[in-house]
Structure 1
Amino acid sequence: MSIKKPLVIDQPKVGKLIRELRLLTGLTQEQFAAVLGVTYPTVNRWENGRAKPSPLGMQKIEQKLYEMGEQGEELLNKYLIN
């Protein structure tokens, strides 16, 4: 059993990744927050760079990216720190 390494993304890029993911899924901030199990103001703060998702929040975002298949993988690679 391998331990999965958490995503590492620069703070300014996290908000851009979240906004782009949300727009690709066609969700409002309110709808996206409901999908992730967080509040609307939380998603708003993430997108505006005023807060960074918790490790659990990042896991949920990563899960959404993988659910999107190739499109999600491309988006992840665009923002991931190598």
Structure 2
Amino acid sequence: MLKQPEISRLIRELRQLTGLTQEQFAAALGVTYSTVNRWENTHMQPSPLALKQIKAMLKEISTTLEAERSQQCQQLLDRHFPEALPNQREI
């Protein structure tokens, strides 16, 4: 499981890559703005379901963005979700 400072950085970097505000990011995940704000400010950790949604969002946008930002999304996936690397089964 990811540690809180890593989660905070992951969410902030993902939002910056996509150009989403905390409110827009929250809406995309189906959570409130204050929840995303707490995640980014290390006051709270996302639930396992929210982490799964964040991982899915990263995978999806890594295929839809231009090459440079797509590569940055893939690097975030590799760094924060190493089990998502190719050649490894996902449970």
Both proteins in one fold, TM over 0.5: yes
Amino acid at match of 2:42: G
Determine which structure has more spread, i.e. the larger CA radius of gyration.
2
Aligned mate of 1:11, from 4, 8, 16: 4
Can you give the 5+ residue segments of structure 2 that lack an aligned partner in the other structure? 63-70, 84-91
Structure with the larger helix share = 2
TM-score where L is the length of structure 1:
0.81
Deviation at 1:78, TM superposition (A): 2.8
Gaps of 5+ in 1: 1-7
Deviations along 1:46-81, one digit per CA (max 9) or x if unpaired, are 000000000110011001110122432211223347
Root mean square deviation of aligned Cα = 1.7
Moved over 4 A (4+): none
Per mean C-alpha deviation after superposition, the further-off stretch among 28-37 and 65-74 is 65-74
In 1, Cα distance between equivalents of 2:58 and 2:20: 14
Which residue is equivalent to 1:68? Answer: 61
Q: Is the 8 A contact 1:65 1:73 kept in 2?
A: yes
The 1-side partners of 2:58 and 2:82 are apart by 16
Secondary structure, in 3 states, of the residue corresponding to 1:27?
Answer: coil
In the superposition, the TM-score normalised over structure 2's length comes to 0.74
Q: Which has the higher contact order (CA 8 A, sep 6+)?
A: 1
